Each structure stands twice: as C-alpha cells, then as structure tokens.
Structure 1
Amino acid sequence: MPLWAAVAATAAAGFLLNLASAPVAWWPLTFVSVTVALLTLIGRTLGGSLLVGTVFGAMFYATHLVWVGEFLGPVPWLALAGLEALLFGVGAVPIALAYRWTAHHRARGVVQLLAVPLLVGGLWAVREVVMGSWPYSGFPWARVGMMQVGGPFVEVASWTGVTGLSFLIVTVCAAVVQRLRAGRSRLVRGLLLVGIVAALLAVTPQFPTTEAGTFRVGWVQGNGPTGYFDVKASGDVLAAQITATRPLHGQPMDLLAWPEGGVDADPLSDPAAAGALDQVVEAAGAPLLMNAATNRGDDVFNTSLLWTADPADRQWHDKVNPVPFGEYVPDRWFYELIVPDMVGLIQREYTPGTNPPLVQVGDVGVGLAICFDVIYDTVIWDGAQQGAEMFVFQTNNADFRGTDENLQQLAFARMRAVETGRAVVNVSTVGTSQVIAPDGTTLDSVGVDTAGAAVSTVPLRTGLTPSTVLGPWLTGFIVLASGIAFTAAGISYRVRTRAGATDHPTGRRSLR
C-alpha cells in the first residue's frame, strides 16, 4: 500500500476504533479498524510504520479522549493524546518488523497462516500492557478488548481478562489479513476457518461463579458541587450527599455507599464531619462507605472509609494509582518550567495506597476501586482474590460533565463485573451511577446531573474466575512469548539476509 494511502486508511481506522467504544459502542467496528490498521503496516519501513501507527493513535486518542480538555482546556487533552499516539506509533514498529521478518515464508504455509497472526496479536497486546503501565503508572484506558463490552465476545474476558481478549481479537483480525495475502484460492476456506474461530469465541459462556446469597446496598448520587472549579463553600458537598440520602431512611440495607469525594473534609481529623457521618450511619441503620481526602502524617491519601458507629470497626482503603497531573504532579520541577500556571493549580499531592482494596461488612467482603483505579487490572484482581463477593466503585465525574468520560468509565465497570463474575455498584457524584449484575446487565441506574438514591438488592458470588486467578500469569506469558517469538524472527531474518549477501557478493539481491 502506498504510504499516502496507508496514512489515509490508518486515520480512518483510528476514527472507527473510537466509534467502537462508548458511547457509540459499535463493537464490530473494532474488527474493521484493527484489520485496516494491520494492512497499513505491511511492507513499511521503520519510519513509515512509526508514521502510520502514530497517525492511527492521533486520530483515535484525539477523539476518544476529548473529554480531558473539559478540565483545563486543550493543552492537557493534546498532551495526553499526543503522548499516547506517539507510544502507539512506536508500538507499531515491531508489528511492521514482524511482517517483514516473516515475509520469506511460504504464503500458504503454517508460519504465515498461523504463527504470524499469533505473533501480531501478541505484539499488539504487549503494546497495550506497556502503555497501561508506563509512564507514571500508565494509562490502560483504551484497549481493544474493552471495546467488546457490549458485544458477543465479552464473556471470554472471564477466562482471559481484558489483555487476553485483546490478544484473541487482534489475532483473528491478523488471520484475516494473512488469508487475504495468501490469494483467492485459499481465501474462502481460510475466512470460513476464521469465522468458525470467531463463532466459538462468541458462544463461549461466562465462567460460572457460585451464588452466595444477596446483599442490600443503598447508593446515593448527591449531584453536589464536586467539580474542581465548582463554586462551593466548605461542607456543601457533604450537605448534598446527606440531603440526597434522606429518602433512604427507614429502608432496610446492609451497606450505604457514597461516591468518591462525597465528603469534603477529613472526618479523621474534623469533628464536625465525623459527627455528621455518625448521624448518617444512625439514620441509615447501616455502615457507610464514603470517600474523602485524609491526612496521615505528611501524607495525603484518596481514601474510601467504611464508617461505622463503633470507631474500632472502621476500615479504609487508599487509592492505589493517584492520577498524574490530576491528583499529583510527577517531576513537578520540570513541568513547572513548561506550564507553571496549570501545575500550580494542583496543590495537593496524593500518596499511593498500599492497603487492600477490600472492606469487610459483616461476613461479606466488598471489593473497592476508586475512580480511575477501575482501569487497572491488578486492583480488581486483588479485590477478588482477597475475598470480594461484590464490588463498589466510587467515582467523581464532575470535572467531565457533558462528555463521554462517564460512559467510557462505566464500560470498564461492566467489563469488571463480567470478568470477575460479581455484581458492581458504580456510584458517581454526578452520574452516571449504575448497579450492574455479574453478567454485565444493568439492574438500576441514575442518569447524569441528577440527585438520586436507591436501595438495590445485589447477588453475592464466591469462587474465582480464571481471569482473576491466571490474569497476571497470562499477561506475563503473552509478553514473554511474544518477545521470544519476535526475537527469534529477527534472528532468523538476520541469518537469512547474511547468507543471501554471501551468496550474491555483487549485492544485487534485495534484502527487503
């Protein structure tokens, strides 16, 4: 494909991948997007593959993350989208090399039709793993597997996790590409085989977890002034949550859940806030899972607290991955030289938490994830492995009102329900809040910019899915196996080209 055509095609593919995600969520476009993206990398030079991959990333991330600009304007949006696009482009280079290094194998042989798709799928998954962990704890927000939350392949995530699902989807797309390259004589039969594999993935059932009773959760979306630039006085956010909670008084519940930032004071050091929470617990007749910024020594944490009538029974979990440039500024001295006004707005420096993402409510383990921590696999796996029978995800979407951010984050919550086989209560300050069943379906919901509260009976589940048990091992295996296969392909190519140069000392033979 000529470079100009590849650039145009990859830009279109990047845009299609955004349409495959929430809120449009046309999941079949994932397969179209990935297939086109792979076609544009075949035959590319190193510079060409970097360009093509970066254009794909720029189109996708610029449209997918436009909500970032709602907070501080276009600079953070363009900076994040630009960084992610560049990393995506760098990750395209190994895929292009994989196509080049295996080009000498027979077009209709097992290497081209089986090994190459597996290698390409693995390299794409490796790119997602790297971008999800680096730099500054990474940003695993946009993954191919996550685009399938509304499609027929979502149940596969309970077996493989999101990374494994990404690997399988890209491998299927890469297999289609290789069948197209093999010629017409094998195309129909090849596409039929690929279709059979896709059909098997589509009918794969969710891994069954064990029913363990039910649990009544009261959840409250206060719609208070929780945005960074909202006009508010001290205590306004807490007051909004208390007001929105009152309709639940008298209703039996096992737990009352508030969103991230539902308390705008540190109840561990503020007697007035602590007293107000004591009254909420007494009126609800249940412990309160709330969230606030807390201070311990010189450290500040984003903390979810299980507030109980007896202080000795209180438990807490601190956010594991504070958001860079939102909850802390990494390398502050450097970025103050570039954008001092923006960096100066972020005065509070949150410390990463190290305590388990779990609280015990009676004999029921409740797994936790605070806002963007829902996108990190290990936080969810840790909660499930340590005994969570359901999850509560607390978030504050106020800084992204009117954007797609809350629906994209909600897609993660739905995927986590399916992945772990557990119900999820996703409670937001301003919406969208939802109660999600273990199969990913919605049980209760409150829309955006609305104060609302309800008591929902959610199913409890025990037993661990393969995803939560094997997820770290499977991710590591994909990375290691792809790295070994990629290295072996490179060595084989190098040996072959050196042998060719020796056999043709005139240099006429093309080494491409």
Structure 2
Amino acid sequence: MNTYDQRDGAQVALPVTQERSASGPAPEEPASAPAAGRGARALAKVRAGLPRTGLAVLLGLLLGAAFPPYDLWPLSIVAVAGLSLLTRGRTARQGAWTGFAFGLPFFVLLLKWLTVIGTDAMIGLSVVEALFVAALGAGLAVTSRLPGWPLWTACLWVTQEWARDRLPLGGFPWGRLAFANTATPFTPLAALGGAPLVTFAVALCGALLAWAALRLRGPLRSPRAAALAALGAVAAVLAGYAVPVPTAADDTLKVAIIQGNVPNPGMDFLGRPMQVLNNHAEATEKLAADIAAGRRERPDVVIWPENASDLDPFSDPLAYRRIDQAVKAVGVPTLIGTLVDGPDAQHVQNEGIVWDPKTGPGASYTKQHPVPFGEYVPFRAELSKIITRLDRVARDFWPGTSTGVMQLGPARIGDVICFEVAYDEIVRDTVNQGARVLVVQTNNATYALSGQPDQQLAMSRLRAVEHGRAVLIAATSGISGVIAPDGSVVTRTDELTAAEIAATVPLRDGRTVADRLGAVPEWTLAVAGLLACGAAAGAGLRRRRAGRPGDGTPAGDDALNPVVP
C-alpha cells in the first residue's frame, strides 16, 4: 500500500511493505527506538524549517524599515510578496509559525520607542500583535490553494488589521500597511476607502508580484502569465493617480500653533509643577508682544498641545489665572490641552478646552480612547500586585462619549487627541459631524527622538487625504506641523525645541467618498478574507472525506506546482 509524505507542499507516494514471519510476529523493537526515531525526525524538521524562519525574520525587519523614521515604503511591497511566497502551499500550522516569525521582529523594530516605558512592555506588546500576524500566516497558507489567491491575500491583510485595530482592549492600530504608505502613489486611495483600501492595494501589489515570481520557473513557468501579474501589480501602484484628492478651500483660517517644549524628555517630562504650562504661556505672550509691535499678524485662533497645562485649571486657581492671562494677552480664542479632575476622585479626563479671551473656558472635548496601561490600568487590582510600575498611573483616564467638533473662533474644528489619530472611526465621525479642519493635540515628550512622533505624523498625513481636510498638529515637544488636504507637509517643527507655527489653512465642507462609505470597504474586504479561509477549509475537508491527498497541494491554477518556494 502507499502512504503520503508532504514535502514543501507536494504529495509524494511512498511504498510501505508489511513483512510477516512464518513462525509468528516479528520481534518487537526496543521501546527506546521509536522515541529516538521520533526525536530525530523532529530535529530534522526543525533544521529544515530554519531557512524559512530566518527569511521570515528578515522580511519582518524589512517591513519595519518601510515605516517612519526610515520611510523605505517600497519594502512594504517586498515584505508582503515574501510572506506570500513563504506561506504558499503550507499547512495552517506552518503558516502560523512563519507569520509569527515575521510579525515579532517587525513589531519589535516598529515599537522600539516603547523601551522608554520598559523593554518588557515593548516585547509584551510585540508578542500580542505578532499573534495576529500568526493568524494571518495561517490564513495565507490555506487560501494559497484557492484560485485567484493574490486577491484573498490582500483581503486577509485587511482582515488582520481589522481585528488588530479592535482587540484586545480597544485594539492597537500601529503597523498598518497604510501607515507606511502615507506619501506614496497608494495614498490617494485613502480618499475612496480610507486606510483599509490603501492596505488592500499595497498587499495586492505584493501578492501579484509573488504570483509573477512563481510563473518564472518550475512546471508552471509562463512568462506571459508572469508579465500579466506584474502589470497587475503596476496597476495597483498607479491606481491612486486616478483618484482626485479634493483640496479647494471653502474658506481660510489663520492659526498659530504653540510648541512650548518640556524640561526633560522621557517618563518625567513634566519637571516641576506649572513648568510646562509656563513654557506655553510665555510663548503665547511673546507672540502677543510681536503682534502688538507689528512684527506678526494676529491669528484667528491659537492652539496649544495636549497636556500643555500640567495642572487642572478648574481646581488650581494659579493655573487658571496663568492660562487666562496668556489668552487675554494674545486676544483670540485658544484651544488648551489639559488634564481635568473627575468625574470622581479615582479618574481624570484628558481634555481640549476652548478658552475665550473675554468669557474664559467654554466648550471642551474629552479623549474617547484612553491608552491601556498608559492612561488607565485594566484589571488594576490584580496586575498592580505583579507589576509595581503600574502604580505610576495613579488615576485612570475617564473616556469621553462625544466627538471633538467644537467652535473655535470662526472655525468649526474637529479635535482628536494623540493616539486617537490612529483609529479610523474617531477621525471619520469628527469629520462627518461637521469639522472643517482637523486638530491633533498630542504630547509625545515621553518618546522624543525615538521615531514615534514621526510615525504619528505619517498617520496625520493619511488622515488629511482620507478626509480632504487640513490637519494641524500641536505637540508639547514636537513634532508640530501643518498638513495640507493633499497630505503634503506645509511646515513642521523639530523635536525638543520651543517653536511657534503661523499658517493660513483651508477650511472645507465637502466630504470624501471615504467619509460617505465609512467602514463599508473595511468590512467588505475583511469578511471576504474570512470567507476565503472558510472556502479553503471546506475544500480541504471534502478532499479528506473523499480519501484523496491534497493537504499540501495548491488547487486551481497552481495544482501542478510541485515545489513551493
């Protein structure tokens, strides 16, 4: 009879001979022999898989280099193509391991800025995020047996990001393919389908290049098919040029952005009480003096960053007076970033407050999505016994329940705070509820000069294109900047310097296709990826029930491929 051995995705029939002794059964082998044989086979499998694992690690690092601060965006395409080839025709378990070996070094490189908090925090988060890429690898492996697998590959990248953006504890969207392509030919696609469509196009391009590579050698060698696949990849790259990015202004706004800087970057950036507040107040008063002397034109509004006031102005009279003094000096409505006590003694709120020079504080926006372990501690009672460092988060941040749409002087702004710029729905809801310009108040002083501010700047560039809005970034220590609706950086500051930006920016009322469609493109592509996995699993089950081999043999147009790269 025959049994089947799977080698690199090919089914190889092996003869099996059964021998019987005329005098009875053959003598039994020593009990240690089968165990030794199994150990040798396991070791051989590990050694055989090392080159594939090593390539996965290398590709993960290449994907990390596609993101800021390195900005080698074509490597995002190379990484997708490489992972597609490494998981091609493998089992789900093999694909999962390859995906994990790819994902872990990628996130370690991408999130190295978290070492400021602790190396254990960086590694822990990287492992959690890499588990999603492991699931992606398993999905790529099983769907690689379906006809048209490059399409399902692209959908599965969106599926993986869809899950990772939401789970666990509200998700962590860092590392989406779209965020490595915020100033590339793919970027205009954001105006049609947001970040998910950009991710889809990048992944499709990489998967088509992988498909083309497979057609350049082996039994399925077909230069014509390879050329067609390569043309498809080029079309995916160039598709963005056909998308109009609306930039015409319905009105304009003169803004001044204050970057007061912090005394000490890192975990203890605040310094002594009121030092950060004084930095921003003094910079605002200097602007007021320049306006009075005729050296500067008066802006319509002034914007301070997140945590510009390190004390609650409603509970600290000195902080209130200092803010009010600076706003009265400049004479225009100012957006103030501060922490506010409440709603109870165990919580604080991260807010942007509209401060009028005549009437004082008015409308406010409370950050909706506090950062787990940075701004609140899940399972505090249990985890604090194990991780004493969590005691540094003395009070949990209370989440807001409404968008940041507020009237600031003559403009209806949409305020988002820090990491919220990474979450599609928070920014989209703000625009759909009437924001004419986006404001990102942020405090990245903890991660100064680590690459994290560059990554957040890139996300803001994508949001500008996605929503057809200018984006104003106000950061305590940098990077502050002004981004035009087409995603171009009009101006930006250096890190760890006191600076002030003056600019005239467009106000827009129209909505992009992405605003109107909302999450529909993401859900459509994500569900398509899941359905492809279901179809592949069903096909495998039918083969097994029919008693046919094929667990490792690609189906459809690749059924004859005996060697999986």
Distance in structure 2 (CA, Å) of the matches to 1:395 and 1:241: 14
Matched with 1:179 is 212
Distance in structure 2 (CA, Å) of the matches to 1:311 and 1:483: 54
8 Å Cα contact 2:260-2:283 kept in structure 1: yes
The C-alpha deviation readout for 1:405-459, integer Å capped at 9, x for no partner, is 1111111111111111111111111111111111111222210111011321111
Distance in structure 2 (CA, Å) of the matches to 1:275 and 1:448: 29
8 Å Cα contact 2:465-2:486 kept in structure 1: yes
Q: Which amino acid aligns with 2:341?
A: N
Q: Which amino acid aligns with 1:228?
A: M
Deviation at 1:231, TM superposition (A): 6.4
2:330 corresponds to 1:330? no
> SS of the counterpart of 1:40?
helix
2:136 corresponds to 1:91? yes
Q: Which amino acid aligns with 2:86?
A: T
> SS of the counterpart of 1:267?
coil
2:372 corresponds to 1:372? no
Deviation at 1:390, TM superposition (A): 0.9
8 Å Cα contact 1:43-1:96 kept in structure 2: yes
Q: Could you tell me which of 62, 65, 73 is aligned with 1:19?
A: 65
The C-alpha deviation readout for 1:147-186, integer Å capped at 9, x for no partner, is 1112122111111111111112112222222233343323
Matched with 1:107 is none
Matched with 2:26 is none
Deviation at 1:243, TM superposition (A): 1.5
Distance in structure 1 (CA, Å) of the matches to 2:112 and 2:319: 36
8 Å Cα contact 1:433-1:445 kept in structure 2: yes
Deviation at 1:20, TM superposition (A): 0.8
Distance in structure 2 (CA, Å) of the matches to 1:402 and 1:211: 34
Q: Could you tell me which of 338, 355, 377 is aligned with 1:307?
A: 355
Deviation at 1:371, TM superposition (A): 0.6
Distance in structure 2 (CA, Å) of the matches to 1:278 and 1:303: 17
Matched with 1:105 is none
Distance 1:493 1:84, change over 3 A: same
8 Å Cα contact 1:153-1:204 kept in structure 2: no
Q: Which amino acid aligns with 1:309?
A: P
Deviation at 1:34, TM superposition (A): 0.8
Q: Which amino acid aligns with 1:174?
A: A
Matched with 1:120 is 153
8 Å Cα contact 1:213-1:461 kept in structure 2: yes
Distance in structure 1 (CA, Å) of the matches to 2:323 and 2:282: 12
**Structure 1 segment 316-465 matched on structure 2, within 5 A:** 316-339=364-387, 341-465=388-512
8 Å Cα contact 1:220-1:259 kept in structure 2: yes
Distance 1:486 1:50, change over 3 A: closer
Deviation at 1:79, TM superposition (A): 1.1
2:291 corresponds to 1:246? no
| Larger helix fraction of residues | 1
The C-alpha deviation readout for 1:342-388, integer Å capped at 9, x for no partner, is 11111120011112121112452111110111101111101110111
Distance in structure 2 (CA, Å) of the matches to 1:385 and 1:511: 48
Deviation at 1:211, TM superposition (A): 1.7
Distance 1:147 1:511, change over 3 A: closer
Distance in structure 1 (CA, Å) of the matches to 2:359 and 2:376: 30
> SS of the counterpart of 1:233?
coil
8 Å Cα contact 2:142-2:536 kept in structure 1: no
Distance in structure 1 (CA, Å) of the matches to 2:482 and 2:527: 37
- Structure with bigger RCO (C-alpha 8 Å, 6+ apart): 2
The C-alpha deviation readout for 1:454-474, integer Å capped at 9, x for no partner, is 321111122111112213111
Distance in structure 1 (CA, Å) of the matches to 2:134 and 2:172: 16
Q: Could you tell me which of 34, 37, 40 is aligned with 2:86?
A: 40
8 Å Cα contact 2:306-2:417 kept in structure 1: yes
Deviation at 1:210, TM superposition (A): 4.3
Distance 1:307 1:4, change over 3 A: same
Pick which of 180-189 and 146-155 moved more: 180-189
Q: Could you tell me which of 127, 141, 144 is aligned with 2:177?
A: 144
Deviation at 1:221, TM superposition (A): 0.5
Matched with 1:166 is 199
Q: Which amino acid aligns with 1:241?
A: H
Distance in structure 2 (CA, Å) of the matches to 1:25 and 1:213: 33
8 Å Cα contact 1:322-1:350 kept in structure 2: yes
Distance 1:510 1:163, change over 3 A: closer
The C-alpha deviation readout for 1:300-326, integer Å capped at 9, x for no partner, is 211111111355871111111101111
8 Å Cα contact 1:218-1:255 kept in structure 2: yes
Distance in structure 2 (CA, Å) of the matches to 1:144 and 1:88: 12
Distance in structure 1 (CA, Å) of the matches to 2:364 and 2:267: 24
The C-alpha deviation readout for 1:3-37, integer Å capped at 9, x for no partner, is 22221111111111111111110111111111001
Distance 1:432 1:473, change over 3 A: same
Matched with 2:30 is none
> SS of the counterpart of 1:315?
strand
Matched with 2:243 is 205
Distance in structure 2 (CA, Å) of the matches to 1:385 and 1:478: 22
8 Å Cα contact 1:381-1:469 kept in structure 2: no
8 Å Cα contact 2:404-2:415 kept in structure 1: yes
Matched with 2:187 is 154
Give me the identity figure in percent.
33
> SS of the counterpart of 2:508?
strand
Q: Could you tell me which of 329, 333, 342 is aligned with 1:283?
A: 329
Q: Which amino acid aligns with 1:280?
A: A
Distance in structure 2 (CA, Å) of the matches to 1:386 and 1:486: 37
> SS of the counterpart of 2:397?
coil
Distance in structure 2 (CA, Å) of the matches to 1:254 and 1:383: 21
> SS of the counterpart of 2:73?
coil
Distance in structure 1 (CA, Å) of the matches to 2:310 and 2:195: 34
8 Å Cα contact 1:209-1:464 kept in structure 2: no
Q: Could you tell me which of 127, 130, 144 is aligned with 2:163?
A: 130
Deviation at 1:96, TM superposition (A): 1.2
Pick which of 483-492 and 382-391 moved more: 483-492
Distance in structure 1 (CA, Å) of the matches to 2:414 and 2:306: 15
Matched with 1:225 is 263
